Amino acid sequence: MVPPESETATRRAGHRRSASHDDRDDAPALQGVLSDVPPQQPKPSARAPPRKVLFLDGIRGIAAVLVVAQHATYMHGLNVGYTAVDIFFVLSAFLLTWLFYKKSEQLIAQQASLRKWGYALADYFSKRFFRVYPLFLLVAVFLWLLPYESQRRYFHVKQPDHFDLFQVLTFEHDHRYHVFWTLPLEIAYYFLIPVFVLTMLRLGKAWWVPVVPLTIWIWHDGWYSIRSDHESLGVHLPTFMCGSLAAVLYIKIEAATKRHSFEFKPAHVYAVRVVEFVTFWLLLSVVCRGLVFDWFFEHPLPVLGGARFISFHVTLLILIEMLLPSVLSEALEWSVLRHWGKIGFSVYLLHSFVIYNEYIITQANYYDRLVLSFFLTHVVSTLSFHMLENPCQVLATRISKRLAEMESRAAAPVLYSVVSLKEAAESGGGLAV
């Protein structure tokens, strides 16, 4: 790990080598990816737009790899697919809450009108739509055109003539085939993020009041509830909420450290690193269902089925690395992991067409099958990103600029009227009294 004496410098400079946020980057957890953009040096400002943190790409890349590994039956005895989904959910909630919180702070500081808030929300939802739906639409239509045997092989459609395209596109519960089940949960949470953010901002200095009961709820639900795939948002809501709470905590802690010019002392760094080290090994132990629980003590969690509770561990590691970066975030900035993170949505939706392909599954040698699965998934997903995802993100950016222009033009007549009235009042004529 980095020596404590250099941690503060690392926090101020090393890990801040981040790029300014690009609209292409605030992708959802299952899907979103932080794409590469040239580093910029924004002017320091209390209201500056949130920066891009590259190690989050690497975390998303690990989740994408785990999805492929799970469905390629590489991790025998472990369901790392649940782990990947929880990582995606946490990342999605963290990034989108962070971005919308900073945007809302700017609008409040500007005393923005309801019209401007409306344009901001339209921009937010248009970006979400073009980030998620086009590729999903293309995959759904492609599946609809395939014969039943191919539908069953690639997306586990259980009955002939059961694939109803309209019900798939509208996320009807019985038609959320295979990996489609996570998308309606993501989209539903998009609508909750503005409500959550505006509630926290409305509370002002009392923002911490709901944090305590929400944290207790997340812990209790994680320990005593069973979560699995193809379930409703309510079952997975604590996972999303964990990411959103972390975003608010990060914003508040960072603002407080700047306001008080706080510097991490060596003792602080050592304490944080101990917490991070323990959290990291507990995360690995929970995912692997062993390690420290075999070496030192039994797992205190009741024996339940379904997904293991890892959202708190992942969130805590993200929060620590955001505030006090270490070699962990540097390792996660590896370009290979970041690239897998960038194409993560395509990996998630398209990997089944590779690993369940008849040519792949009939390979006699296990390692031939494994290498082909990862290599071809990478190729197909990279092509998908550049041919569909990236153009859709560019389109979303253009729509965002168009909305900004429309808002400016709508505000111009009001501004002109105010200026005209002021001039009339100063000249003693017109409607001035």
pLDDT at 93: 97
Query: What does the pLDDT read at residue 193?
Result: 98
Q: What percent of the chain has pLDDT over 90?
A: 64
Give the 3-state secondary structure percentages of the chain, helix then strand then coil, rounded to 5: 70, 0, 30
Please report, to the nearest 10 degrees, the dihedral formed by the alpha carbons of residues 408, 413, 414, 418 taken in order.
Answer: 130
Write down the pLDDT at residue 52. Answer: 60
Q: How confident is the model at residue 34 (pLDDT cuts 50, 70, 90)?
A: very low
- The 10s digit of each residue's pLDDT in 339-380 is 999 999 999 999 999 999 999 989 888 888 989 999 999 999
* Residues shown for the chain: 433
Question: Which tokens go with 355?
Answer: 């690993």
Please state, in angstroms and rounded to a whole number, the distance separating the CA atoms of residues 222 and 224.
6
Task: Of 39-48, 84-93, 216-225, give the range with the top mean pLDDT.
Answer: 84-93
Report residue 5's pLDDT band, with 50, 70 and 90 as the boundaries: very low
Look up residue 3 and give its amino acid: P
Residue reference for tokens 């975030």? 329
Residue 116 corresponds to which amino acid?
Answer: K
CB atoms within 10 A of CB 74: 18
The model's pTM: 0.83
Q: Which residue has the tokens 């649940």?
A: 82
Q: What pLDDT was estimated at residue 12? A: 42
User: Residue 62 — φ and ψ, nearest 5°?
Assistant: -60, -45
pLDDT at 397 over 60: yes
The greatest distance separating any two alpha carbons of the chain, rounded to the nearest whole angstrom, comes to: 93
Half-sphere exposure (CA, 13 Å, Cβ side) for 313?
A: 19
**Cα–Cα distance for residue pair 376/365, rounded to 1 Å:** 16
Report domain extents, the chain. Answer: 4-395
Residue 319 CA to residue 330 CA, distance in Å, equals: 15
Query: Helix, strand, or coil here: 32?
Result: coil
What residue type is 264 in one-letter code?
F
Q: Which of 51, 128, 67 is nearest to 93 (CA)?
A: 128
The 3-state DSSP class for residue 393 equals: helix
Express each pLDDT in 310-329 by its tens digit.
999 999 999 999 999 999 99
